[in-house]
């Protein structure tokens, strides 16, 4: 009899096993599906700093000379003789700034930068206007800085196209000299820090969440450099003055790191 009971229990256990397994399967929650990693979040708001390199060239404006020196027409004639006064050269420096995303696709900010510059030109003539008088000049912008507002539009979440403008300042120099065969000479020179304005536009692209690259054009105008001097003519008191505008263009590229 006991053997019959054990046999009946075994048969019941075997028959009920599938139902118990189905109940367990219904109770256990399904495994969550594998999801791809979320895309990076491109952040424009915040502080940044970086470096830039570029090339600059100044407008080909000739200086104007005035005064009682008899050599003033000679100085003025150096431009007529074909001496070119526009400077050009490389520049490079650093920048820091802050951006703020004010609307989904509008970014505003402020940036300041300073660069060492080699924007210069010099020339000389040995027979100005056929008078036999020698003359020479030099001009340069030795450093250049700006403090600018920036406002731009996000063409994509990683590409900013912007306009910029504000204060420009820099170190400008100008000198001119002329000497005739009688020992009469005139020399004017000036080196000073000038202030003016700048306007431009550019594009900045986020490479990673923290690193971006940019390309930028700027026009700057530092006003006029005015040089004065006493004319060195024995026994003849006279004076001379020169004035030249320090304005030009900059094309540069740079890299920024966002903090």
Q: Assess contact for 139 and 120: CB atoms under 8 A.
A: yes
Question: Whats the size of the chain, residue-wise?
Answer: 259
CATH no. of 46-258 = 2.40.160.20
Percent of the chain clearing pLDDT 70 (strictly above)? 80
Q: Which residue from 87, 83, 58 is spatially nearest to 219, judged by alpha carbons?
A: 58
Q: Tell me, what's the pLDDT at 10?
A: 47
Q: What is the pLDDT of residue 174?
A: 92
What pTM does this model have?
0.80
Q: Enter the DSSP assignment of 29.
A: P
| Cα 98 to Cα 167: distance, rounded to the nearest angstrom | 17
Domain ranges of the chain: 46-258
The tokens describing 241, both together, are 């003055």
Question: Which of the residue ranges 14-18, 66-70, 83-87, 193-197 would you say has the lowest mean pLDDT?
Answer: 14-18
Q: Among candidates 253, 201, 193, which has minimal Cα distance to 223?
A: 193
149 has a pLDDT exceeding 60:
yes
Residue 20 in tokens = 């118990």
Q: What is the DSSP letter of 104?
A: T
- CA atoms 66, 71, 75, 77: torsion sign: positive
Own/partner pairs, 93-97, CB within 8 angstroms, 24+ separation: 93/51, 93/52, 93/145, 94/49, 94/50, 94/51, 94/52, 95/49, 95/50, 95/51, 95/52, 95/254, 95/256, 96/47, 96/48, 96/49, 96/50, 97/47, 97/48, 97/49, 97/150, 97/256
Are 72 and 64 a contacting pair, CB within 8 Å?
Answer: no
Contact between 182 and 130 (Cβ < 8 Å):
no
Q: Which residue has the higher pLDDT, 185 or 93?
A: 93
Q: How confident is the model at residue 113 (pLDDT cuts 50, 70, 90)?
A: very high
pLDDT classification of 160: cutoffs 50, 70, 90: very high
Residue 12: predicted pLDDT? 42
Indicate if the alpha-carbon torsion angle 203, 207, 212, 215 is positive or negative: negative
Q: What's the Rg (C-alpha) of the chain?
A: 37
Quote the tokens at residue 160.
């900013």
């Amino acid at each position: 009899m006991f053997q019959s009971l054990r046999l009946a229990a075994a048969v019941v256990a075997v028959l009920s096993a599938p139902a118990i397994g189905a109940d367990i399967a219904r109770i256990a929650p399904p495994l969550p599906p594998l999801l791809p990693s979320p895309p990076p979040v491109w952040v424009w708001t915040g502080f940044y700093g970086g470096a830039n390199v570029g090339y600059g060239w100044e407008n080909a404006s000739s200086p104007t000379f005035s005064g009682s020196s008899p050599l003033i027409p000679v100085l003025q004639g150096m431009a007529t003789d074909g001496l070119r006064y526009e400077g050009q050269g490389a520049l490079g420096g650093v920048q820091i700034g802050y951006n703020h995303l004010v609307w989904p696709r509008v970014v505003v900010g402020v940036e300041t930068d300073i660069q060492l510059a080699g924007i210069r030109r010099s020339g000389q003539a040995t027979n100005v206007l056929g008078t036999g008088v020698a003359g020479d000049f030099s001009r340069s912008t030795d450093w250049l800085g700006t403090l600018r507002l920036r406002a731009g539009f996000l063409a994509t979440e990683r590409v900013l196209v912007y306009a910029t403008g504000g204060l420009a300042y820099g170190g400008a120099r100008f000198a001119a000299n002329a000497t005739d065969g009688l020992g009469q000479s005139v020399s004017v020179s000036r080196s000073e820090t000038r202030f003016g304005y700048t306007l431009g536009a550019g594009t900045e692209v986020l490479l990673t969440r923290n690193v971006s690259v940019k390309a930028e054009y700027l026009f700057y105008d530092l006003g006029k450099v005015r040089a004065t001097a006493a004319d060195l003519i024995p026994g003849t008191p006279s004076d001379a003055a020169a004035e030249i505008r320090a304005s030009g263009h900059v094309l540069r590229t740079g890299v920024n790191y966002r903090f």
